[in-house]
Amino acid sequence: MIAIFLATYAAVFIAEIAGDKLLYTTGVLATRYRALPILCGMTIAFTAKMGAAVLVGSFIAKLPPLLVAAITAINFFVIAFAVWRKPDKKEAEKEYPSSRAVLVSFAAIFFSEWGDVGQMTAATMAARFGESLWVWLGAVSAMVTKGGLAASIGARLRQWIQKHFSPVTIRYAAVSLLLFLGLLTVLETLIEVHEFPG
């Protein structure tokens, strides 16, 4: 059982860590919110997403790529809008509780990139080993590790950025990156559909 957990952890972590857009999204969120609420929101989202991957991995793999891209892009745009509308740091700390960061983090993870390489890896591991619980635990642990790394890097980056840039500049940079990630999602999918039709 532990071997299945470790194999899934390693497979999902390696599959997810290279070039994953949510890694950058988490880093962006960490420049605006504290790390602990981000980790809470991510953990809840990863728990649900990997549960779905283990239970219905083959269905997720068959979703139309354009549908997945549309949902992911819309999510990035909504998160960008939420970050853009968020007041500067001093006002935000007075006005919004940590639950807002939890909800924003949850939405950024849960509504993005369904059927991605991490979920497909978890689904494959579940099909191969037939041990859904251990695969799910390994996959969630790998995703939380990845998110924790991104949040801690983002938190350190936030401290440096706050010393050198105004809150308005930080907000515009975060919004620009999220919009870029949303557009990149659509472009990648359109290229993939064009190169591999049907």
Q: How many domains does the chain have?
A: 1
What are the per-10-residue average pLDDT scores of the chain (198 residues)? Answer: 84 67 72 82 90 72 71 72 65 56 85 74 76 89 86 74 76 78 78 68
Cα(first)–Cα(last) distance of the chain, in Å?
38
What phi and psi, each to the nearest 5 degrees, are found at residue 111?
-95, 10
What phi and psi, each to the nearest 5 degrees, are found at residue 107?
-65, -40
Q: 46: domain range? A: 2-195
**Contact of 168 with 88, CB cutoff 8 Å:** yes
Residue 145 to residue 167: CA distance in whole angstroms: 28
Give CA torsion, residues 17, 198, 196, 181, to 10 deg: -40
Residue 50 to residue 67: CA distance in whole angstroms: 19
Which pLDDT belongs to residue 44?
Answer: 93
Residue 15 to residue 174: CA distance in whole angstroms: 25
Which pLDDT belongs to residue 165?
Answer: 79
Which pLDDT belongs to residue 198?
Answer: 55
Residue position matching structure tokens 């890097």: 153
Which pLDDT belongs to residue 94?
Answer: 42
Residue position matching structure tokens 């590790």: 145
